[in-house]
Amino acid sequence: MLLQMRHITKTYGTLTANSGVDFSLRQGEIHALVGENGAGKTTLMRILYGMEQPTAGQILLNGKEVVFTNPTDAISHRIGMVHQHFMLFPSFTVAENIVIGNEPRAGVAFDRKKAIAQVEELCAKYRLPIDPRMKVADCPLGLQQRVEILKVLYQGADIIILDEPTGVLTPLEAKELLVIMRSLANQGKSFIIITHKLHEVMEVADRVTVLRDGKVTGSVDAGATNVEELSKLMVGRDLKQLQKRTLQTGQTILQVNNISIHGDKGKPVLNNVNLQVNAGEIVGIAGISGNGQSELIQAISGLQPIDQGDIQLLGTPIRGRSVREIREIGLSHVPEDRYQWGAAKEGTVLDNGTMGHHKTTSRSGLLHGQELRKLVNRFIQQFQIKTGSQDTQVKFLSGGNLQKLIVAREIAQKQPFLIAAEPTRGVDIGAMELIHEELLRKRDEQGAILLVSSELTEILKLSDRIVVMYEGRIVGELSAEEATEEQISLWMAGGNSDA
């Protein structure tokens, strides 16, 4: 056995993150580590990578006990980790990012030519083509993921830990990554992937270990299990079948008329976009990241000005209005980037959970602290948000738990119109089930929802109408009954069809 983690326990005061966990890895194997948010997956891998020290237990590498006091120790033992949020320097080139910390030298100076040659040789060896001269800022997320993998390969890693590797990738990029992983495994590299996406687990993993509440609930060969069994091991119960009710639409809530936005070089990032969302329906927007979805969301929510056209919310023109004014007219918003737009990282769970709720919980202009705490406690209970207390800073929450807090906060605004952008990004299947139920409940109560998701299965599952964006334009629209994954994927790639 290449790697064994025996009886790993990790406690933080009274909190037990891992309790007697056993985990192993063979050479050339892809081993998936799955579980709900807060189940202890990332903590276990941080211990393996030397970022945390176990309270008890031992790690064996090739049968010999090892102790990692920091990531440098792990790297020296040929263990590398690609984190959920990429750790790259955008202004540096691909080559500079890959060799950083182990730069080739010509005397005391950085040997740029040799770095480029080494990266080209690395790309050829592992069949991961990329231009080493490109700036990382110019690389799409799929290529940035590739840079991160090449970086750990350059460090000599034989064991590669991937934390939520497809969380920010498009479906096409995700499929490409799975192919890369299998190719590298066939060359002898071993992978541990932390993920919530069970269909990807079934597609690429050799073995699966499930954690729940810090303990192993099962470790099985992927070929001997299925999504339903893994789901039950993760959440401790069978998942409910989602039921969509008959569509009953009402008045027009959002009307977007011929809006355009031009980028820095004059090229339109939105090009004469028309869109309508009615009360009692979910309109899903499908498209590969970077085709105008972000700009459309920002235009509607007041985060970005438009160059032409107009937008009406509940019959009120909102072009040129502030974010606050638009929200007061009737908009709530789950943003696609929870850290940039959705939360104040230095703020507490209480601070972030009550954003936008201050008017309904104030008396004569003074905030009513007890009501605010009751509100946030309801969010924590309903969405099973794992936090030490309401006074914990949200930067210490897992990404999935912060996402649940933002979704709970925005749905509770009870506004007529909700933008839900990547609402289940980084959350586990139990939380995903709950978020989907809440979105459908809002829709059934005659709320209007604009759903933007890179998960095509989510779009197909929830939407009543689906529009597809490509290069800043809406290139197709289908009802839920008409929609097929093949047709939508074709439009997303810029293809045409008579369908």
Let me know if residue 372 belongs to a domain. Answer: yes
Order of all β-strands in the sheet with 281-286: 331-334, 417-421, 448-452, 281-286, 465-470, 473-479
Let me know if residue 242 belongs to a domain. Answer: no
Instruction: Clarify whether residues 231 and 256 are in a common domain.
Output: no
CA gap 394, 420 in Å, rounded: 20
CATH number of the domain within which 316 lies = 3.40.50.300
CA gap 261, 145 in Å, rounded: 29
Side chain identity at 40, as an amino acid letter? G
Instruction: Clarify whether residues 443 and 484 are in a common domain.
Output: yes
- Which of 178, 207, 235 represents a domain boundary (last residue)? 235
The CB density around residue 179, as the number of other CB atoms within 10 Å, is 10
Instruction: Clarify whether residues 229 and 258 are in a common domain.
Output: no
Instruction: Clarify whether residues 194 and 85 are in a common domain.
Output: yes
The pLDDT of residue 113 is 93
Residue 73's closest CA among 90, 89, 49, 92?
A: 49
Instruction: Clarify whether residues 466 and 325 are in a common domain.
Output: yes
- What is the b/e burial string over 338-371, where b = at least 16 CB atoms within 10 angstroms of the residue's CB? beebbbeeeebbbbbbbebbeeebeeeeeeeeee
Let me know if residue 497 belongs to a domain. Answer: no
The pLDDT of residue 28 is 96
How confident is the chain (499 residues) per 10-residue block, as mean pLDDT? 96 89 97 86 94 96 95 94 85 94 89 94 89 89 86 93 79 81 93 87 94 92 90 75 69 96 83 95 88 92 94 96 94 90 92 83 60 91 89 87 93 95 83 90 94 88 93 92 84 66
Are the C-beta atoms of 214 and 19 separated by less than 8 Å?
yes
Instruction: Clarify whether residues 426 and 453 are in a common domain.
Output: yes
The CB density around residue 181, as the number of other CB atoms within 10 Å, is 21
Instruction: Clarify whether residues 256 and 167 are in a common domain.
Output: no
Let me know if residue 121 belongs to a domain. Answer: yes
pTM over 0.75: no
Instruction: Clarify whether residues 230 and 340 are in a common domain.
Output: no
The pLDDT of residue 237 is 73
Let me know if residue 243 belongs to a domain. Answer: no
Let me know if residue 245 belongs to a domain. Answer: no
How many structural domains are present in the chain?
2
Instruction: Clarify whether residues 214 and 285 are in a common domain.
Output: no
Instruction: Clarify whether residues 148 and 272 are in a common domain.
Output: no
Instruction: Clarify whether residues 15 and 83 are in a common domain.
Output: yes
The pLDDT of residue 107 is 87
Let me know if residue 240 belongs to a domain. Answer: no
- Which of 170, 201, 235 represents a domain boundary (last residue)? 235
46: domain range? 3-235
Let me know if residue 375 belongs to a domain. Answer: yes
Please provide the distance, in angstroms rounded to a whole number, between the alpha carbons at the two ends of the chain.
53
Instruction: Clarify whether residues 270 and 342 are in a common domain.
Output: yes
